[in-house]
Copies of this chain bind each other. A is one copy, B any other.
Amino acid sequence: MGKSNVWLRGLSLMILSASLNVPSRAQEAQSSNLQTVMPGLNLMPIPASVQMGSGSFKIDASFNVTRTGHSDARLEGALQRFLDRLGKQTGLLLPPWNSPTVAKLRMVVHVDHDSKPVQELGEDESYVLEVAPSGANISAPTDLGALHGLQTFLQLVTVSPDGFVAPAVIIKDTPRFPWRGLMIDTARHFIPLEILRRNIDGMETVKMNVFHWHLSENQGFRVESRKFPKLHQMGSDGLYYTQDEIRGLIAYARERGIRVVPEFDLPGHSTAWFVGHPEFASGPGPFTIERRWGVFDPAFDPTNEKVYKFLDEFIGEMAKLFPDHFFHVGGDEVNGKAWDANPKIQEFIRAHDLKGNAGLQLYFNKKLQSIVSKHGKSMVGWDEVLDPTLPKDIVIQSWRGQAALAEAAKQGYRGILSNGYYLDLGWSAARHYAVDPMGDAASSLSAEEKQRILGGESCMWSEYVNAENIDSRIWPRNAAIAERLWSPQEVRDPAWMYARMHVLSVQLEWLGLTHQHNYLRSLRRIAGAASTEEFNALRTLADVVEPVKDYMREQTATEPATSEMPLNRVVDAIPLESRAAREFSEMVDKYVGSSCRDAATGAQIRAQLILWRDNDAKLQPLAQRSFLVKEVASTSQDLAAVASVGLAALDALEHGGNPDEAWKTQQSSLVQQAQKPKGQLLLMPTPAIQKLIDSASVGGSCAAPRQ
């Protein structure tokens, strides 16, 4: 770190005693206290250090901002965006940042010196934000920190009894990891630029700093190549980004302090390349764009010298287009079948004494790495590229897990973690949140080895994701991963995280993200012409189901999914995590967890269960009219059934009875039936209802009688 001089300028601050990247005992104490010193601050990610002041800074139409110190066009743009955003968040009409009519300055942003023209890994992103009743100051070594400080300030602003305010506070902040990324797979489903832009806005809000752009796949080649136009012309169905568009997006990301790392997946995952260039494949053509999902056989032919000549030219072109120092070559999931099937390739393996197909891929990787390096870049690859004979400047992105990441670090390679951060698997935010790049195997690394773990990336693979629902697959859960990568390791209470994530989620919609409102819009399409009561019934059901997890969607499909299948079902519309089910579960935990049942909580649980029990009758008429509702009709019946079970259990609990084992077994079996996925949906309240059964059979132990 060591750039803390900026923290002292004109501000009365406490001095941090330890670096934030290497947790110390003092810092742990501080971090575990963050939750208690931040009443009502809905910051996400949580800053490294927060000191509450007294009073608050009122935000009204006289609010304005200027900058001092080093002059920077990026910062000036950021100040205007900050005001636009603050205006949306409050509804206030704020004058432009450099408005000559402004009399009294209220916020000053100071930057020490220039940042790099092409953003680099590890640049100083720290800042200090001081808010007092009279105004606010942000101070940072470079504009990168200032950008983060502005986002923190936006999150501080809340509605209060006296208007919009930011509480008095001193925040000293710096990220835990220098590489905090979001990967979006724009190849399996094409994602229009406008949607990438608003997701980059979302990344800025949660202080992520790497957009990893997955650009080629079996299902599509998404970049205009002027040297090899058949790549995009024949490999994309016309859905690709022009070079101008790409330059525009890189500039857009840079404005927000975000690097753009392109990925061209080689030598597998490459069918779409071969539609225009079958001559580089290991097997005979012709090839067509793949429409199915999965791991496929086509792969580049590592024994063909023309492949390297092509890659040299192609990567040369792309290395100019993408200015970032890192260049991702994929390298994952080569099944080797195309190599097995080609006698010439097998002969080559023998002739060069390579260790089978793995040895062949290593041979390919080495040549690829030297090409990438020749064009001035460091190569990034998925786990599979790891081999001790490769130069140490490559970066390993681990989809396999922390053990693989730790192993890379031990061998001297830098790495980033993505295992545990796959947004498409439908995990809860809490489950992602619990995954730490320094956890498990990494925790026993030496300090030097730990330095090689640069951070992590959430990954949005797009088999079941398209322009319509992608926002809801990324947000708000991605904020939990962003916090894991930015905030002190000790910040890890999931309940606190959820409370803040829900507030953030609302703010993200002001960026144009659609994760909240597209849910309702899509449900309305599913419902068709419906009465208010019918629509509410559909929503009540949809609110408590989640898509099946991990790779169960493939495994529960009645027919293999393809890129041409519509994503218009309930499973595609719902959020990947049910807030209503989680809140119900918390209520049940609270109720059954205390020795003396809380009557008000019991009443709330009862009201909820009655609503669910009676919901099915309201939904069924709609299921008769819409095939998309019909698909969830049996889940609706399940919800009614388990709600009835829950009510019976609640009766037993409230009356202090001790139902017999046969009853318990019977009810549990009903719940287990309902727990099986139907229509690729999971009914999320079932575990909490099982808890009610289990508690009912334990019997009440309340001292005071039920009111």
List residues of A whose CB falls within 8 A of some B CB: 40, 42, 61, 88-93, 96, 158-163, 238, 468, 499, 503, 506, 509-510, 516-517, 520-522, 524-529, 532, 564-568, 572, 579-580, 583, 624-628, 630
Contact = CB atoms under 8 A, between A and B. Distances in A.
B160 A566 contact: no
7 contacts: A42-B529, A61-B566, A90-B568, A93-B566, A160-B625, A503-B529, A516-B521
Given A160-B627, A161-B625, 11 more contacts: A61-B564, A61-B566, A88-B468, A92-B566, A93-B565, A159-B527, A160-B626, A162-B627, A509-B517, A509-B521, A516-B517
Nearest to A96: B238
Nearest to A161: B627
A529 B91 contact: no
A455 to B, nearest CB: 29
Contacts of A499: 529
Nearest to A519: B517
A598 to B, nearest CB: 16
Contacts of A627: 159-163
Nearest to A189: B93
A378 B567 CA distance: 51
A628 B516 CA distance: 22
A304 to B, nearest CB: 32
Contact of A624 (B161, B516, B565, B568): B161
Each complex incorporates copies of this chain amounting to 2
A583 B532 contact: yes
Given A159-B625, A159-B626, A627-B160, A568 B91 contact: yes
* Residue in A93, A532, A567 with the greatest tally of chain B CB atoms within 10 Å: A93
Residue picked from A88, A159, A161, A521, most chain B C-beta under 10 Å? A159
A667 B93 CA distance: 43
A521 B510 CA distance: 8
Contact of A568 (B92, B468, B517): B92
Contact of A521 (B90, B506, B524, B583): B506
Contacts of A91: 468, 522, 525, 566-568, 572
Contact of A90 (B510, B516, B566, B580): B566
Nearest to A532: B583
A46 to B, nearest CB: 15
Nearest to A604: B533
Contacts of A532: 579-580, 583
A631 to B, nearest CB: 11
Contacts of A96: 238
Contacts of A566: 61, 90-93
A525 to B, nearest CB: 7
B61 A529 contact: no
Contacts of A510: 521
A519 to B, nearest CB: 10
A525 B162 CA distance: 15
Nearest to A509: B521
Nearest to A40: B529
Contacts of A529: 40, 42, 158, 499, 503
A405 to B, nearest CB: 36
Contacts of A42: 529
A630 B525 CA distance: 36
A566 B92 CA distance: 5
Contact of A528 (B159, B238, B526): B159
In the complex, the 7 A-B pairs of residues with the closest C-beta atoms, listed nearest first: A91-B568, A517-B517, A159-B528, A159-B626, A506-B524, A91-B566, A503-B529
Given A93-B564, A566-B91, A517 B521 contact: yes
Contacts of A528: 158-160
A522 B516 CA distance: 13
